[in-house]
């Protein structure tokens, strides 16, 4: 993504606000590092567009609260897909 950091911050902020995306997903979508996206939406955006920053911060806070749930579900699916030595899947709820 080419452009001024200020323009990039606004574009990233609008994307995260509109899609509910995580920083990691936004970084992948725009071909940037997670650090760049985080700095843009956490620091630059606060100075450039405070109202958009507030909306983005709400999305990021929600994502942070749900992070442990997503990780737990990923682990659960991993074990459901793994096979036991006898070829049977484990009995998990």
Q: Interhelix angle for 5-19 vs 23-30, to 10°?
A: 120
Over residues 31-56, the pLDDT tens digits come to: 999 999 999 999 999 999 999 999 99
User: In this predicted structure, what is the pLDDT of residue 80?
Assistant: 77
Average confidence (pLDDT) per 10 residues, the chain, 93 residues: 84 96 94 95 95 95 79 75 60 59
pTM: 0.72
User: In this predicted structure, what is the pLDDT of residue 93?
Assistant: 58
User: In this predicted structure, what is the pLDDT of residue 89?
Assistant: 56
Question: CA separation (Å) from 38 to 27, 67, 88, 90?
Answer: 9, 16, 43, 39
On the 0-12 / 13-18 / 19+ scale of CB atoms within 10 A, 26 is: buried
């Amino acid at each position: 993504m080419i452009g001024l950091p200020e323009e990039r911050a606004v574009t990233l902020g609008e994307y995260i606000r509109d899609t509910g995306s995580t920083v990691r997903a936004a970084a992948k979508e725009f071909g940037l590092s997670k650090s760049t996206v985080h700095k843009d939406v956490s620091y630059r955006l606060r100075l450039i567009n405070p109202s958009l920053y507030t909306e983005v911060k709400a999305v990021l806070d929600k994502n942070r609260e749900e992070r442990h749930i997503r990780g737990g579900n990923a682990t659960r699916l991993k074990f459901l897909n793994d096979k036991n030595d006898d070829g049977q899947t484990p009995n998990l709820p």
